[in-house]
Structure 1
Amino acid sequence: MEVDENDTVIGENGDVFVHRLKELSEEEKTRLDAQNNRLIPEAKAAKLEREAKRHWDIFYKRNETKFFKDRHWTTREFQELINFDADQRIVYLELGCGVGNMVFPLVQEGFTNFYFYACDFSPRAVEFVKANKLYDESRMKAFCADVTSEDLFEHVEENSVDLASLIFVLSAIQPASWPQAARTAFRALKPGGILLFRDYGRYDMAQLRFKPGHKIADNYYMRQDGTRSYYFSEDELAKLFVDAGFEILMNTYVQRRTVNFKEGIDVPRIFVQGKYRKPTLDG
Protein backbone atom coordinates (compact mmCIF):
# COMPACT_ATOMS: atom_id res chain seq x y z
CA MET A 1 0.00 0.00 0.00
CA GLU A 2 1.01 3.61 -0.48
CA VAL A 3 -0.18 6.87 1.06
CA ASP A 4 -1.03 9.81 -1.22
CA GLU A 5 -0.73 13.54 -0.56
CA ASN A 6 -4.15 13.61 1.12
CA ASP A 7 -3.19 10.90 3.66
CA THR A 8 -5.44 8.37 1.98
CA VAL A 9 -4.17 4.81 1.74
CA ILE A 10 -4.13 3.23 -1.71
CA GLY A 11 -4.34 -0.56 -1.80
CA GLU A 12 -2.57 -2.84 -4.23
CA ASN A 13 -5.80 -3.44 -6.16
CA GLY A 14 -6.66 0.26 -6.41
CA ASP A 15 -9.00 0.44 -3.41
CA VAL A 16 -8.71 3.77 -1.61
CA PHE A 17 -9.08 3.83 2.18
CA VAL A 18 -10.20 7.23 3.49
CA HIS A 19 -11.55 8.70 6.73
CA ARG A 20 -13.91 11.27 5.30
CA LEU A 21 -17.37 11.31 3.81
CA LYS A 22 -17.74 11.66 0.10
CA GLU A 23 -18.50 15.23 -0.97
CA LEU A 24 -21.77 15.26 -2.87
CA SER A 25 -22.31 17.12 -6.11
CA GLU A 26 -25.38 19.32 -6.46
CA GLU A 27 -26.98 16.66 -8.66
CA GLU A 28 -26.38 14.02 -5.99
CA LYS A 29 -27.82 16.25 -3.28
CA THR A 30 -30.90 16.71 -5.43
CA ARG A 31 -31.27 12.94 -5.79
CA LEU A 32 -31.12 12.43 -2.04
CA ASP A 33 -33.60 15.24 -1.40
CA ALA A 34 -36.03 13.70 -3.91
CA GLN A 35 -36.05 10.44 -1.95
CA ASN A 36 -37.84 12.27 0.89
CA ASN A 37 -40.81 13.12 -1.33
CA ARG A 38 -42.44 9.76 -0.67
CA LEU A 39 -41.29 7.78 2.35
CA ILE A 40 -42.42 4.24 3.14
CA PRO A 41 -45.27 4.39 5.69
CA GLU A 42 -44.52 3.14 9.20
CA ALA A 43 -47.03 0.30 8.89
CA LYS A 44 -45.33 -0.98 5.73
CA ALA A 45 -41.87 -0.63 7.34
CA ALA A 46 -43.09 -2.70 10.31
CA LYS A 47 -44.43 -5.35 7.93
CA LEU A 48 -41.07 -5.50 6.13
CA GLU A 49 -39.43 -6.22 9.48
CA ARG A 50 -41.92 -8.95 10.35
CA GLU A 51 -41.49 -10.59 6.95
CA ALA A 52 -37.72 -10.15 6.61
CA LYS A 53 -36.97 -13.88 6.72
CA ARG A 54 -39.61 -14.61 4.07
CA HIS A 55 -38.21 -11.95 1.74
CA TRP A 56 -34.69 -13.39 2.01
CA ASP A 57 -35.98 -16.92 1.49
CA ILE A 58 -37.77 -15.76 -1.66
CA PHE A 59 -34.58 -14.00 -2.77
CA TYR A 60 -32.59 -17.23 -2.51
CA LYS A 61 -35.38 -19.26 -4.11
CA ARG A 62 -35.26 -16.92 -7.11
CA ASN A 63 -31.49 -16.48 -7.37
CA GLU A 64 -30.23 -19.75 -5.82
CA THR A 65 -26.42 -19.51 -5.63
CA LYS A 66 -25.99 -17.28 -8.68
CA PHE A 67 -26.43 -13.74 -7.36
CA PHE A 68 -23.44 -13.01 -5.10
CA LYS A 69 -19.93 -13.71 -6.35
CA ASP A 70 -17.52 -15.76 -4.27
CA ARG A 71 -15.40 -13.48 -2.10
CA HIS A 72 -11.89 -14.36 -3.16
CA TRP A 73 -10.73 -10.92 -1.97
CA THR A 74 -11.07 -11.58 1.76
CA THR A 75 -7.56 -12.91 2.40
CA ARG A 76 -6.15 -9.85 0.65
CA GLU A 77 -8.23 -7.39 2.67
CA PHE A 78 -8.10 -9.25 5.99
CA GLN A 79 -4.60 -10.47 6.75
CA GLU A 80 -5.94 -11.83 10.04
CA LEU A 81 -7.25 -14.78 8.03
CA ILE A 82 -3.73 -15.89 7.11
CA ASN A 83 -1.55 -14.71 10.01
CA PHE A 84 -1.57 -18.05 11.80
CA ASP A 85 0.71 -21.04 12.05
CA ALA A 86 -0.44 -23.77 9.70
CA ASP A 87 -0.88 -26.22 12.59
CA GLN A 88 -2.85 -23.79 14.78
CA ARG A 89 -6.54 -24.70 14.96
CA ILE A 90 -8.71 -21.68 14.17
CA VAL A 91 -12.44 -21.46 14.83
CA TYR A 92 -14.10 -19.16 12.31
CA LEU A 93 -17.70 -17.96 12.45
CA GLU A 94 -19.44 -16.34 9.51
CA LEU A 95 -22.46 -14.38 10.72
CA GLY A 96 -24.82 -14.12 7.77
CA CYS A 97 -23.17 -16.64 5.49
CA GLY A 98 -25.67 -16.50 2.61
CA VAL A 99 -24.88 -19.43 0.32
CA GLY A 100 -21.26 -19.68 1.46
CA ASN A 101 -19.58 -17.07 -0.74
CA MET A 102 -16.91 -16.42 1.88
CA VAL A 103 -16.56 -19.81 3.53
CA PHE A 104 -16.09 -21.93 0.42
CA PRO A 105 -13.34 -19.78 -1.16
CA LEU A 106 -11.41 -20.23 2.11
CA VAL A 107 -11.97 -23.98 1.86
CA GLN A 108 -10.71 -23.93 -1.73
CA GLU A 109 -7.61 -22.00 -0.68
CA GLY A 110 -6.65 -24.83 1.65
CA PHE A 111 -7.48 -23.51 5.10
CA THR A 112 -7.27 -27.02 6.54
CA ASN A 113 -6.62 -25.79 10.08
CA PHE A 114 -9.94 -23.89 10.19
CA TYR A 115 -13.18 -25.15 11.67
CA PHE A 116 -16.04 -23.20 10.09
CA TYR A 117 -19.34 -22.20 11.61
CA ALA A 118 -21.71 -20.63 9.06
CA CYS A 119 -25.11 -19.28 9.99
CA ASP A 120 -27.80 -17.35 8.18
CA PHE A 121 -31.26 -15.93 8.79
CA SER A 122 -32.62 -17.70 5.70
CA PRO A 123 -33.26 -21.47 5.98
CA ARG A 124 -33.06 -21.72 2.18
CA ALA A 125 -29.60 -20.13 2.14
CA VAL A 126 -28.40 -22.65 4.72
CA GLU A 127 -29.77 -25.48 2.58
CA PHE A 128 -27.66 -24.24 -0.33
CA VAL A 129 -24.56 -24.20 1.89
CA LYS A 130 -25.15 -27.79 2.96
CA ALA A 131 -25.76 -28.85 -0.65
CA ASN A 132 -22.41 -27.45 -1.82
CA LYS A 133 -19.96 -30.16 -2.88
CA LEU A 134 -17.33 -28.56 -0.65
CA TYR A 135 -19.47 -28.86 2.47
CA ASP A 136 -17.72 -31.22 4.89
CA GLU A 137 -19.42 -31.97 8.21
CA SER A 138 -16.09 -32.98 9.75
CA ARG A 139 -14.79 -29.41 9.52
CA MET A 140 -17.84 -27.16 9.25
CA LYS A 141 -21.32 -26.67 10.60
CA ALA A 142 -24.02 -24.62 8.84
CA PHE A 143 -27.20 -23.68 10.66
CA CYS A 144 -30.04 -21.19 10.71
CA ALA A 145 -29.77 -18.42 13.31
CA ASP A 146 -30.82 -14.81 13.82
CA VAL A 147 -27.78 -12.79 14.90
CA THR A 148 -30.06 -10.38 16.76
CA SER A 149 -31.32 -13.15 19.09
CA GLU A 150 -29.96 -15.94 21.30
CA ASP A 151 -30.24 -18.51 18.48
CA LEU A 152 -26.53 -18.60 17.75
CA PHE A 153 -25.58 -19.96 21.15
CA GLU A 154 -27.59 -23.11 20.61
CA HIS A 155 -24.80 -24.06 18.16
CA VAL A 156 -21.70 -22.08 19.19
CA GLU A 157 -20.24 -21.73 22.67
CA GLU A 158 -19.57 -18.27 24.04
CA ASN A 159 -15.90 -17.21 24.05
CA SER A 160 -14.97 -19.99 21.60
CA VAL A 161 -14.37 -18.23 18.26
CA ASP A 162 -11.02 -16.90 17.00
CA LEU A 163 -12.37 -14.98 14.01
CA ALA A 164 -15.87 -13.86 13.11
CA SER A 165 -17.19 -11.90 10.15
CA LEU A 166 -20.11 -9.65 9.30
CA ILE A 167 -19.76 -9.12 5.56
CA PHE A 168 -22.65 -7.22 3.93
CA VAL A 169 -24.98 -8.40 6.69
CA LEU A 170 -25.57 -5.56 9.16
CA SER A 171 -26.98 -3.33 6.41
CA ALA A 172 -29.90 -5.76 5.98
CA ILE A 173 -30.82 -5.53 9.68
CA GLN A 174 -33.01 -2.76 11.08
CA PRO A 175 -30.87 -0.17 12.94
CA ALA A 176 -32.59 -0.77 16.29
CA SER A 177 -31.22 -4.34 16.26
CA TRP A 178 -27.58 -3.52 15.47
CA PRO A 179 -26.45 -3.39 19.12
CA GLN A 180 -27.74 -6.94 19.67
CA ALA A 181 -25.91 -8.18 16.56
CA ALA A 182 -22.68 -6.54 17.76
CA ARG A 183 -23.09 -8.07 21.24
CA THR A 184 -23.72 -11.49 19.68
CA ALA A 185 -20.40 -11.29 17.83
CA PHE A 186 -18.65 -10.07 20.99
CA ARG A 187 -20.01 -12.94 23.10
CA ALA A 188 -19.00 -15.56 20.53
CA LEU A 189 -15.40 -14.41 20.24
CA LYS A 190 -12.58 -15.46 22.54
CA PRO A 191 -10.74 -12.68 24.36
CA GLY A 192 -8.36 -11.35 21.72
CA GLY A 193 -10.62 -12.61 18.91
CA ILE A 194 -11.30 -10.36 15.93
CA LEU A 195 -14.47 -9.41 14.06
CA LEU A 196 -14.01 -8.67 10.35
CA PHE A 197 -16.52 -6.27 8.83
CA ARG A 198 -17.45 -4.90 5.42
CA ASP A 199 -20.67 -3.28 4.25
CA TYR A 200 -22.20 -0.44 2.23
CA GLY A 201 -20.85 3.06 2.86
CA ARG A 202 -22.66 6.38 3.06
CA TYR A 203 -23.41 7.91 -0.36
CA ASP A 204 -22.54 4.76 -2.26
CA MET A 205 -23.91 4.90 -5.80
CA ALA A 206 -26.55 2.30 -4.90
CA GLN A 207 -27.91 4.66 -2.24
CA LEU A 208 -28.04 7.60 -4.63
CA ARG A 209 -30.00 5.57 -7.19
CA PHE A 210 -33.03 4.84 -5.02
CA LYS A 211 -36.21 6.52 -6.27
CA PRO A 212 -38.93 8.09 -4.10
CA GLY A 213 -41.06 5.43 -2.43
CA HIS A 214 -38.12 3.27 -1.30
CA LYS A 215 -36.75 5.21 1.67
CA ILE A 216 -37.65 3.84 5.11
CA ALA A 217 -35.58 6.24 7.23
CA ASP A 218 -32.32 8.18 6.99
CA ASN A 219 -29.88 6.11 4.90
CA TYR A 220 -32.18 3.07 5.11
CA TYR A 221 -34.05 1.71 2.07
CA MET A 222 -36.27 -1.05 0.71
CA ARG A 223 -35.20 -2.79 -2.48
CA GLN A 224 -37.68 -3.93 -5.13
CA ASP A 225 -37.67 -7.48 -3.74
CA GLY A 226 -38.55 -6.41 -0.19
CA THR A 227 -35.05 -6.84 1.26
CA ARG A 228 -33.54 -3.78 2.90
CA SER A 229 -30.23 -1.96 2.90
CA TYR A 230 -28.57 0.65 5.10
CA TYR A 231 -25.59 2.85 4.13
CA PHE A 232 -23.15 3.42 7.00
CA SER A 233 -20.86 6.19 8.15
CA GLU A 234 -17.62 5.18 9.82
CA ASP A 235 -18.51 7.21 12.94
CA GLU A 236 -21.71 5.30 13.69
CA LEU A 237 -19.93 1.97 13.21
CA ALA A 238 -17.12 3.01 15.55
CA LYS A 239 -19.65 3.92 18.24
CA LEU A 240 -21.65 0.73 17.70
CA PHE A 241 -18.71 -1.61 18.16
CA VAL A 242 -17.03 0.35 20.96
CA ASP A 243 -20.33 0.35 22.86
CA ALA A 244 -20.45 -3.43 22.41
CA GLY A 245 -17.03 -3.71 24.07
CA PHE A 246 -14.68 -3.96 21.08
CA GLU A 247 -11.35 -2.25 20.49
CA ILE A 248 -11.02 -0.69 17.02
CA LEU A 249 -8.16 -1.95 14.87
CA MET A 250 -9.53 -0.50 11.63
CA ASN A 251 -12.62 1.52 10.77
CA THR A 252 -12.66 3.33 7.45
CA TYR A 253 -14.34 4.01 4.12
CA VAL A 254 -13.22 2.09 1.06
CA GLN A 255 -13.66 3.75 -2.32
CA ARG A 256 -13.35 1.68 -5.47
CA ARG A 257 -14.71 1.41 -8.99
CA THR A 258 -16.68 -1.48 -10.42
CA VAL A 259 -15.58 -1.72 -14.05
CA ASN A 260 -16.86 -3.96 -16.84
CA PHE A 261 -15.48 -2.76 -20.17
CA LYS A 262 -17.57 -5.26 -22.13
CA GLU A 263 -20.81 -3.91 -20.64
CA GLY A 264 -19.61 -0.30 -20.60
CA ILE A 265 -19.91 -0.14 -16.78
CA ASP A 266 -17.75 2.13 -14.63
CA VAL A 267 -19.43 2.73 -11.29
CA PRO A 268 -17.88 4.35 -8.19
CA ARG A 269 -18.59 2.37 -5.04
CA ILE A 270 -18.20 3.21 -1.37
CA PHE A 271 -17.92 0.60 1.36
CA VAL A 272 -17.04 0.66 5.04
CA GLN A 273 -14.47 -1.76 6.37
CA GLY A 274 -13.54 -2.57 9.93
CA LYS A 275 -11.59 -4.86 12.20
CA TYR A 276 -12.67 -4.96 15.82
CA ARG A 277 -10.97 -6.92 18.63
CA LYS A 278 -12.45 -8.32 21.82
CA PRO A 279 -10.10 -7.20 24.62
CA THR A 280 -7.94 -9.81 26.31
CA LEU A 281 -8.59 -10.65 29.93
CA ASP A 282 -5.41 -8.87 31.03
CA GLY A 283 -6.44 -5.69 29.18
Structure 2
Amino acid sequence: MPFQVRGQKGRILTSEEAEKLMKDQSLVSNFKQQKLESDAQKNWDLFYKRNSTNFFKDRHWTTREFEELKACREFENQKLIVLEAGCGVGNCLFPLLEDDLNVFIYACDFSPRAIEFVKQNHLYHTERCKAFQCDLTKDSLLENIPADSVDVVTLIFVLSAIHPDKMQLALENIYKILKPGGSILFRDYGLYDHTMLRFKNGHKLGPNFYVRQDGTRSFFFSDEYVAQLLTAAGYEVLVNEYVFRETVNKKEGLCVPRVFLQCKFKKPDRNRIDLTC
Protein backbone atom coordinates (compact mmCIF):
# COMPACT_ATOMS: atom_id res chain seq x y z
CA MET A 1 0.00 0.00 0.00
CA PRO A 2 1.40 3.45 -0.85
CA PHE A 3 2.37 5.88 1.87
CA GLN A 4 -0.50 8.26 2.59
CA VAL A 5 -0.90 11.39 4.67
CA ARG A 6 -3.93 12.41 6.68
CA GLY A 7 -3.48 16.16 7.16
CA GLN A 8 -2.23 17.14 10.59
CA LYS A 9 -3.19 13.78 12.08
CA GLY A 10 -0.22 11.98 10.61
CA ARG A 11 -0.04 9.07 8.25
CA ILE A 12 -2.71 6.46 7.58
CA LEU A 13 -1.76 3.03 8.86
CA THR A 14 -2.12 -0.07 6.77
CA SER A 15 -4.40 -2.74 8.22
CA GLU A 16 -1.33 -4.83 9.10
CA GLU A 17 0.30 -1.93 10.94
CA ALA A 18 -2.87 -1.09 12.85
CA GLU A 19 -3.28 -4.71 13.87
CA LYS A 20 0.34 -4.92 15.03
CA LEU A 21 -0.05 -1.86 17.26
CA MET A 22 -3.34 -3.16 18.62
CA LYS A 23 -1.77 -6.46 19.64
CA ASP A 24 1.32 -4.88 21.21
CA GLN A 25 -0.19 -3.89 24.55
CA SER A 26 2.03 -5.65 27.10
CA LEU A 27 4.46 -3.34 28.88
CA VAL A 28 7.97 -3.87 30.18
CA SER A 29 7.85 -4.59 33.94
CA ASN A 30 8.06 -1.69 36.41
CA PHE A 31 11.30 -3.11 37.82
CA LYS A 32 12.97 -3.11 34.40
CA GLN A 33 11.60 0.34 33.59
CA GLN A 34 13.08 1.74 36.79
CA LYS A 35 16.43 0.14 35.95
CA LEU A 36 16.33 1.62 32.43
CA GLU A 37 15.76 5.04 33.98
CA SER A 38 18.59 4.67 36.50
CA ASP A 39 20.93 3.30 33.79
CA ALA A 40 19.97 5.83 31.12
CA GLN A 41 23.27 7.72 31.19
CA LYS A 42 25.30 4.49 31.24
CA ASN A 43 23.37 3.13 28.25
CA TRP A 44 24.00 6.26 26.19
CA ASP A 45 27.67 6.22 27.21
CA LEU A 46 27.92 2.61 26.01
CA PHE A 47 26.19 3.63 22.78
CA TYR A 48 28.94 6.14 22.05
CA LYS A 49 31.63 3.70 23.17
CA ARG A 50 30.39 1.19 20.58
CA ASN A 51 29.73 3.66 17.77
CA SER A 52 32.31 6.36 18.43
CA THR A 53 31.61 9.28 16.05
CA ASN A 54 30.46 7.07 13.19
CA PHE A 55 26.75 6.45 13.85
CA PHE A 56 25.02 9.73 12.90
CA LYS A 57 25.68 11.74 9.77
CA ASP A 58 26.54 15.42 10.01
CA ARG A 59 23.37 17.53 9.89
CA HIS A 60 24.10 20.03 7.15
CA TRP A 61 20.34 20.42 6.65
CA THR A 62 19.67 22.38 9.82
CA THR A 63 20.17 25.86 8.34
CA ARG A 64 17.94 24.88 5.40
CA GLU A 65 15.14 23.52 7.58
CA PHE A 66 15.47 26.19 10.25
CA GLU A 67 15.99 29.58 8.63
CA GLU A 68 16.02 31.13 12.12
CA LEU A 69 19.60 29.98 12.51
CA LYS A 70 20.48 32.60 9.90
CA ALA A 71 17.63 35.09 10.04
CA CYS A 72 16.97 35.71 13.75
CA ARG A 73 19.65 38.35 14.26
CA GLU A 74 18.27 41.74 15.23
CA PHE A 75 21.10 43.62 13.53
CA GLU A 76 23.87 42.94 11.01
CA ASN A 77 26.96 41.17 12.33
CA GLN A 78 25.24 40.28 15.61
CA LYS A 79 26.96 37.33 17.25
CA LEU A 80 24.32 34.64 17.61
CA ILE A 81 24.32 32.67 20.87
CA VAL A 82 23.08 29.11 20.42
CA LEU A 83 22.57 26.13 22.72
CA GLU A 84 22.58 22.71 21.15
CA ALA A 85 20.81 20.60 23.76
CA GLY A 86 21.72 16.95 23.32
CA CYS A 87 24.68 17.58 21.03
CA GLY A 88 25.89 13.98 20.79
CA VAL A 89 29.30 13.97 19.13
CA GLY A 90 28.71 17.27 17.33
CA ASN A 91 26.94 16.25 14.12
CA CYS A 92 24.93 19.49 14.23
CA LEU A 93 27.41 21.60 16.18
CA PHE A 94 30.37 21.49 13.79
CA PRO A 95 28.45 22.11 10.54
CA LEU A 96 26.95 25.19 12.20
CA LEU A 97 30.37 26.45 13.29
CA GLU A 98 31.72 25.97 9.77
CA ASP A 99 28.69 27.62 8.16
CA ASP A 100 28.48 30.70 10.41
CA LEU A 101 31.63 32.41 11.62
CA ASN A 102 29.69 34.82 13.84
CA VAL A 103 28.11 32.34 16.22
CA PHE A 104 28.95 31.04 19.69
CA ILE A 105 27.52 27.63 20.56
CA TYR A 106 26.97 26.03 23.95
CA ALA A 107 26.70 22.26 23.54
CA CYS A 108 25.58 19.81 26.20
CA ASP A 109 24.84 16.11 26.30
CA PHE A 110 23.78 13.46 28.80
CA SER A 111 26.79 11.29 27.92
CA PRO A 112 30.23 12.28 29.25
CA ARG A 113 31.80 10.16 26.51
CA ALA A 114 29.96 12.11 23.80
CA ILE A 115 31.26 15.38 25.24
CA GLU A 116 34.81 14.02 25.17
CA PHE A 117 34.39 13.20 21.48
CA VAL A 118 33.20 16.79 20.88
CA LYS A 119 36.24 18.24 22.65
CA GLN A 120 38.60 15.98 20.67
CA ASN A 121 37.27 17.26 17.34
CA HIS A 122 39.77 19.49 15.51
CA LEU A 123 37.03 22.10 14.98
CA TYR A 124 36.41 22.51 18.71
CA HIS A 125 37.79 25.82 19.97
CA THR A 126 36.76 27.32 23.29
CA GLU A 127 36.54 30.83 21.87
CA ARG A 128 33.67 29.64 19.63
CA CYS A 129 31.96 26.92 21.65
CA LYS A 130 31.66 25.44 25.11
CA ALA A 131 30.74 21.77 25.57
CA PHE A 132 29.69 20.27 28.91
CA GLN A 133 27.92 17.22 30.30
CA CYS A 134 24.42 17.86 31.58
CA ASP A 135 21.22 16.04 32.49
CA LEU A 136 18.61 18.46 31.16
CA THR A 137 16.03 17.16 33.63
CA LYS A 138 18.22 17.66 36.73
CA ASP A 139 21.32 19.75 36.27
CA SER A 140 21.01 23.48 36.14
CA LEU A 141 22.08 24.88 32.80
CA LEU A 142 22.68 28.09 34.74
CA GLU A 143 25.94 26.58 36.05
CA ASN A 144 27.35 26.90 32.53
CA ILE A 145 25.14 29.45 30.75
CA PRO A 146 23.99 32.89 31.99
CA ALA A 147 20.25 33.35 32.47
CA ASP A 148 18.30 34.93 29.60
CA SER A 149 21.34 34.88 27.32
CA VAL A 150 20.69 32.38 24.49
CA ASP A 151 19.10 33.45 21.20
CA VAL A 152 18.28 30.00 19.82
CA VAL A 153 18.15 26.49 21.26
CA THR A 154 18.22 23.46 18.97
CA LEU A 155 16.41 20.41 20.32
CA ILE A 156 16.85 17.85 17.56
CA PHE A 157 16.03 14.17 18.25
CA VAL A 158 16.68 14.76 21.96
CA LEU A 159 13.40 15.06 23.83
CA SER A 160 12.28 11.64 22.55
CA ALA A 161 15.10 10.01 24.55
CA ILE A 162 13.81 11.48 27.83
CA HIS A 163 11.14 9.82 29.93
CA PRO A 164 7.78 11.51 29.20
CA ASP A 165 7.34 12.34 32.89
CA LYS A 166 10.52 14.45 32.77
CA MET A 167 10.17 16.19 29.42
CA GLN A 168 8.56 19.28 30.92
CA LEU A 169 11.41 19.61 33.45
CA ALA A 170 13.90 19.72 30.56
CA LEU A 171 11.88 22.39 28.78
CA GLU A 172 11.58 24.46 31.96
CA ASN A 173 15.35 24.31 32.52
CA ILE A 174 15.97 25.47 28.95
CA TYR A 175 13.46 28.29 29.48
CA LYS A 176 15.71 29.81 32.16
CA ILE A 177 18.69 30.40 29.85
CA LEU A 178 16.69 31.47 26.79
CA LYS A 179 16.33 35.19 26.08
CA PRO A 180 12.81 36.62 26.19
CA GLY A 181 11.66 36.30 22.58
CA GLY A 182 14.27 33.60 21.96
CA SER A 183 13.33 30.47 20.00
CA ILE A 184 13.61 26.71 20.35
CA LEU A 185 13.91 24.79 17.09
CA PHE A 186 12.59 21.27 17.56
CA ARG A 187 12.64 18.17 15.39
CA ASP A 188 11.91 14.66 16.59
CA TYR A 189 10.18 11.37 15.84
CA GLY A 190 6.53 11.62 14.87
CA LEU A 191 3.71 9.23 15.66
CA TYR A 192 3.67 6.12 13.43
CA ASP A 193 7.14 6.69 12.08
CA HIS A 194 8.55 3.50 10.57
CA THR A 195 10.96 3.20 13.50
CA MET A 196 8.01 2.96 15.90
CA LEU A 197 6.36 0.22 13.87
CA ARG A 198 9.55 -1.87 13.79
CA PHE A 199 9.61 -2.48 17.54
CA LYS A 200 8.78 -6.07 18.39
CA ASN A 201 6.56 -7.18 21.27
CA GLY A 202 8.18 -6.77 24.66
CA HIS A 203 9.75 -3.38 23.98
CA LYS A 204 6.87 -1.10 24.92
CA LEU A 205 7.27 1.11 27.99
CA GLY A 206 4.06 3.12 27.69
CA PRO A 207 1.94 4.95 25.13
CA ASN A 208 4.21 5.73 22.14
CA PHE A 209 7.31 4.99 24.28
CA TYR A 210 9.71 2.11 23.52
CA VAL A 211 13.10 0.71 24.48
CA ARG A 212 15.73 -0.39 21.97
CA GLN A 213 17.91 -3.48 22.29
CA ASP A 214 20.76 -1.37 23.68
CA GLY A 215 18.64 0.09 26.48
CA THR A 216 18.22 3.54 24.96
CA ARG A 217 14.62 4.72 24.66
CA SER A 218 12.50 6.60 22.16
CA PHE A 219 9.20 8.43 22.32
CA PHE A 220 7.04 9.23 19.27
CA PHE A 221 5.22 12.57 19.29
CA SER A 222 1.86 13.72 18.03
CA ASP A 223 1.36 17.40 17.29
CA GLU A 224 -1.26 17.62 20.05
CA TYR A 225 1.14 16.15 22.62
CA VAL A 226 3.90 18.59 21.71
CA ALA A 227 1.53 21.58 21.88
CA GLN A 228 0.34 20.60 25.36
CA LEU A 229 3.90 19.99 26.56
CA LEU A 230 5.21 23.32 25.35
CA THR A 231 2.37 25.51 26.54
CA ALA A 232 2.56 23.85 29.97
CA ALA A 233 6.24 24.85 30.12
CA GLY A 234 5.39 28.47 29.31
CA TYR A 235 6.27 28.69 25.61
CA GLU A 236 4.36 30.16 22.69
CA VAL A 237 3.99 27.67 19.83
CA LEU A 238 4.73 29.28 16.46
CA VAL A 239 5.07 26.21 14.21
CA ASN A 240 3.96 22.66 14.96
CA GLU A 241 3.72 20.38 11.95
CA TYR A 242 4.46 16.91 10.66
CA VAL A 243 7.26 16.32 8.18
CA PHE A 244 6.85 13.32 5.91
CA ARG A 245 9.70 11.60 4.12
CA GLU A 246 10.23 8.36 2.25
CA THR A 247 13.44 6.38 2.55
CA VAL A 248 13.87 4.25 -0.56
CA ASN A 249 16.02 1.12 -0.65
CA LYS A 250 16.17 0.28 -4.35
CA LYS A 251 18.27 -2.82 -3.78
CA GLU A 252 15.63 -4.42 -1.55
CA GLY A 253 12.67 -2.76 -3.24
CA LEU A 254 11.52 -1.04 -0.04
CA CYS A 255 9.91 2.36 0.45
CA VAL A 256 9.97 3.23 4.13
CA PRO A 257 7.67 5.98 5.49
CA ARG A 258 9.31 8.37 7.91
CA VAL A 259 7.33 10.77 10.10
CA PHE A 260 8.92 13.60 12.04
CA LEU A 261 7.53 16.51 14.00
CA GLN A 262 9.08 19.91 13.36
CA CYS A 263 8.29 22.85 15.61
CA LYS A 264 9.34 26.35 16.49
CA PHE A 265 8.37 27.85 19.81
CA LYS A 266 9.55 30.85 21.77
CA LYS A 267 9.86 32.29 25.22
CA PRO A 268 7.38 35.17 25.48
CA ASP A 269 8.75 38.71 25.23
CA ARG A 270 8.90 40.55 28.55
CA ASN A 271 7.38 43.70 27.12
CA ARG A 272 4.39 41.93 25.58
CA ILE A 273 1.05 43.24 26.84
CA ASP A 274 -1.37 40.48 27.83
CA LEU A 275 -4.68 41.71 26.42
CA THR A 276 -6.59 38.90 28.13
CA CYS A 277 -6.11 40.43 31.55
TM-score, scaled relative to structure 2:
0.92
Report what 2:53 is aligned to: 65
Task: Write out per-residue CA displacement over residues 80-130 of structure 1, whole angstroms, 9 at most, x where no aligned residue.
Answer: 001135510111001100001111011122x11111100000000000000
- The residue correspondences of 1:11-90 to structure 2 (distance < 5 A) are 18-36=7-25, 38-83=26-71, 84=73, 85-90=75-80
Unpaired stretches in structure 1, ≥5 consecutive residues: 1-15
Cα distance in 2, alignment partners of residues 265 and 115 from structure 1: 41
Cα distance in 2, alignment partners of residues 168 and 271 from structure 1: 9
Counterpart of 1:156 (choices 145, 148, 152) is: 145
Report what 1:169 is aligned to: 158
Counterpart of 1:238 (choices 222, 227, 244) is: 227
Q: Which amino acid aligns with 1:100?
A: G
Q: Which amino acid aligns with 2:37?
A: E
Cα distance in 2, alignment partners of residues 99 and 64 from structure 1: 8
How far is 1:160 from its partner?
A: 0.6
CA distance 1:144–1:215, change in 2 (3 Å): same
Report what 2:200 is aligned to: 211
Cα distance in 2, alignment partners of residues 24 and 144 from structure 1: 39
**SS of match in other structure, 1:225:** coil
**SS of match in other structure, 1:235:** helix
Q: Do the aligned partners of 1:254 and 1:272 also contact (CA within 8 Å) in 2?
A: yes
Q: Which amino acid aligns with 1:170?
A: L
Cα distance in 1, alignment partners of residues 54 and 243 from structure 2: 25
Q: Do the aligned partners of 1:17 and 1:254 also contact (CA within 8 Å) in 2?
A: no
Cα RMSD for the two superposed structures: 1.5
TM-score, scaled relative to structure 1:
0.90
Cα distance in 1, alignment partners of residues 41 and 227 from structure 2: 28
Report what 2:173 is aligned to: 184
**SS of match in other structure, 1:281:** coil
Q: Which amino acid aligns with 2:91?
A: N
How far is 1:18 from its partner?
A: 4.8
Cα distance in 2, alignment partners of residues 136 and 262 from structure 1: 42
Report what 2:247 is aligned to: 258
Cα distance in 1, alignment partners of residues 192 and 31 from structure 2: 26
How far is 1:67 from its partner?
A: 0.5
Q: How many residues align?
A: 266
**SS of match in other structure, 2:9:** coil
Q: Do the aligned partners of 1:35 and 1:210 also contact (CA within 8 Å) in 2?
A: no
Cα distance in 1, alignment partners of residues 88 and 253 from structure 2: 29
Q: After TM superposition, what 4+ stretches of structure 1 lie above 3 angstroms from structure 2?
A: 260-265
Report what 1:10 is aligned to: none
